[in-house]
Every structure is written in C-alpha cells, then in structure tokens.
Amino acid sequence: MINFAYARATDVADAVRRIAADPQAKFIAGGTNLIDLMKEDVERPTRLIDIT
C-alpha cells in the first residue's frame, strides 16, 4: 500500500474544497471497500478525505 495523507472534512463545503484541491484524493466513509482496493494496489489515492 502506498503512502497517503488523511483529512477529516468538517462539513460538506470543506469536503468539496479538499477534493477540488487534490483531484487524486478519494472520499472514505463507513462501509466502503476503498482500503481493500488500496491493499490490492487497484486504487492509489494521494489523500483520503473522511466524510463520516
């Protein structure tokens, strides 16, 4: 798995700002399988944006 940054969005506007600033970022929330895809090297986000 590659290195990535982690950020927790404080509200919807913050989440939108963060994804606009880093197009390689991905949203993460409960029930997603993004971590599994990262372990298999299918997804390689530069940043995870927590929207829980």
Q: Tell me if the pTM is above 0.75.
A: yes
Confidence class for position 1, pLDDT limits 50, 70, 90: low
CATH code for the domain of 17: 3.30.43.10
Average pLDDT over residues 31-45: 90
Amino acid (one-letter) located at 9? A
Average pLDDT over residues 14-20: 97
Average pLDDT over residues 21-34: 91
Which has the closest alpha carbon to 51: 5, 19, 3?
19
Confidence class for position 30, pLDDT limits 50, 70, 90: confident
Q: What pLDDT, on the 0 to 100 scale, is given for residue 49? A: 97
Domain membership of residue 45 as a residue range:
5-50
Q: How many domains does the chain have?
A: 1
